[in-house]
Amino acid sequence: MDLNSKIVSMFCIRCSKELAIDDYYLGCPKCLKENEVSNVSFVYNSEIFFCDRSQIGMKKYRDWLPYDDFPYLGEGDTPLVQVAMAELETALSVFLKCEHQNPSGSHKDRMNPLIVKRAKELGMAGVIAASSGNEGVSLALYAASAGLKCEIVSTKTINSIWKNAILSTGAQLILTETPDDRLVYIKERIKTGQTYSATNILEIPSGSSSFGIQGYKTISYEIIEQMNGEIPDYVFVPVSRGDLLYGIYEGFVDLKNMKIIATIPKLVAVEPFERLSSVLRGSDYKQRFIGDSRLTSSIGGATVTYQARQALQNSDGFAIELAQYEIMNAVYEMARKGFYLETSAAILYGALKKSCVEKALEPGSKVVLVSTSHGFKNDLNYYQSLES
């Protein structure tokens, strides 16, 4: 089956313009004319929140996704595990949403079934994405399973763990000198009309494919179900383009609109250096930011997105940074609690600790950490070479 019949149109998340259902590689066209950069999303004509228990994974929530049917490799239904953290300065109940348990070991597995489905619906021969690693492996696996060609464009610094995984699927891996060079390649490839891009092609991005981002809403649906309808006070999310942050935000908004929850949690963006916190203080979201991210390449990058800022502002949340020298400690401390996470996910623990020291969280709060990626991707030899 094709597009969900409950979808009536798309809209710009910044200027609210109603838009036809399409792929907006340049974000909202109206905003672009005004030199703004904004992603778009979907309008669903639905009065109830229906969870289809005859289905598994994300398909339980297909009423609220772009498609009724899409490839399934075992993604979704990830555990929500309470983790004892008596060492924190503020007493909290902390839960880990184990997105690292998805098939390719990251949350990206909730986005790519829908991207692959979209590419198939359009009759494309293949898919393409710019990726520092996780999106590349995930898209390559879903494309392979659906019989689509796949090109992953990364930089020469990508580690061999991701490289080997991508190449194992039969995908083509293109390595460029700089992150911006990746976009030059993608722009050329999509001109053929045969390749669907998961990635936005603007240098200041609006975000990834809106079809894919919808998949992240299911994280919020699952959290509320797993907490038996209770609402977390804070949800911590590692952020790069803000696709995940925005998708989680929209998921909570859906539940609020459907009167399943009365309020939405405060979202907390976790970053390796000041980007979003600077934007929240008033600096332009379209500028470039400079900082070290060598230990956390998955959430590196010099840009932020309007969608990330909106998710933080509308949820009354905030952004917090954790410097590189603190990252490995966070990896070890989480591993000693039983969770071996990629640096870009373990950063959540360091950020949580820092938030407690800074008294940024209400005592007694319920906090969910969205653990985005498994530690098997950590390139410890490379990290040690930087430390010495």
Ligand X SMILES: Cc1ncc(COP(=O)(O)O)c(C=O)c1O
Shorter beta-carbon distance to Zn ion: residue 29 or 364: 29
Residue 40 touches Zn ion, criterion: CB under 5 A:
no
The site partner of 131 among ligand X, Zn ion, none (C-beta below 5 to 8 Å per kind) is none
34 binds Zn ion (CB under 5 A): no
Among 78, 206, 240, 293, binds ligand X (CB under 6 A): 240
Complex with ligand X: residue 117 or 241, whichever CB lies closer: 241
Q: At closest approach, how far in Å is the CB of 150 from ligand X?
A: 17
Position 345 contacts ligand X (CB under 6 A)? yes
By CB under 6 A, which span of 47-55, 62-70, 239-247, 278-286 interacts with ligand X?
239-247
Q: State the nearest-atom distance from the C-beta of 342 to ligand X, in Å.
A: 5
- Of 4, 7, 10, 12, the one binding Zn ion by CB under 5 A: 12
Backbone angles phi, psi at 44, to 5 degrees: -105, 135
- Whole-number minimum distance, CB 210 to ligand X, in Å? 13
28 binds Zn ion (CB under 5 A): yes
User: How, if at all, do strands 172-176 and 149-155 pair?
Assistant: parallel
Contacts of 116 (CB under 8 A, 6+ apart): 70, 71, 127, 139, 142, 143, 145, 146, 148
As given in the structure block, the two tokens for residue 368 are 């969910």
Which residue's CB is nearer to Zn ion, number 31 or number 319? Answer: 31
Among Zn ion, ligand X, none, what binds residue 345 when CB lies within 5 to 8 Å by partner kind? ligand X
Burial of 343 (0-12, 13-18, 19+ CB in 10 A): buried
C-alpha–C-alpha distance, residues 176 and 103, integer Å: 27
Kindly indicate which of the ranges 88-96, 219-227, 248-256, 337-345 contains the residues binding ligand X, using the contact rule CB under 6 A.
Answer: 337-345
User: Residue 12 CB, nearest distance to Zn ion (Å)?
Assistant: 3
Site for ligand X in 40-69 (CB under 6 A): none
- Per CB under 5 A, the segment of 24-32, 120-128, 330-338, 378-386 that binds Zn ion is 24-32
Q: Which does 134 bind (CB under 5 to 8 A by kind): ligand X, Zn ion, none?
A: ligand X
Cβ-based neighbour number of residue 30 at 10 Å: 15
**Identity of the residue, 238 or 265, whose beta carbon is nearer to ligand X in the bound complex:** 238
Residue closer to ligand X (CB basis): 90 or 132: 132
Cα of first residue to Cα of last residue in the chain, in angstroms, is 55
Q: How far is the CB of 371 from ligand X (least distance, A)?
A: 9
Is 106 a binder of ligand X (CB under 6 A)? Answer: yes
- Does residue 241 touch ligand X according to CB under 6 A? yes
Q: Does 154 engage in binding with ligand X (CB under 6 A)?
A: no
According to the binding rule CB under 5 A, does residue 37 interact with Zn ion?
no
d(CA 117, CA 373): 23
371 contributes a contact to ligand X by CB under 6 A: no
Report the largest interatomic distance among the alpha carbons of the chain, rounded to a whole angstrom.
Answer: 58
Residue tagged 């959430």 (tokens): 299
Q: Which of 10, 31, 85, 276 binds Zn ion (CB under 5 A)?
A: 31
* Cβ distance to ligand X smaller for residue 260 or 302: 302
CA distance 26 to 57: 31
Q: Which of 49/382 has CB closer to ligand X?
A: 382
- Residue 14 binding target from Zn ion, ligand X, none, CB below 5 to 8 Å by type: Zn ion
Residues that bind Zn ion in the complex, under the rule CB under 5 A: 12, 14-15, 28, 30-31, 38
Residues that bind ligand X in the complex, under the rule CB under 6 A: 106, 134, 238-245, 298-299, 342, 344-345, 372-373
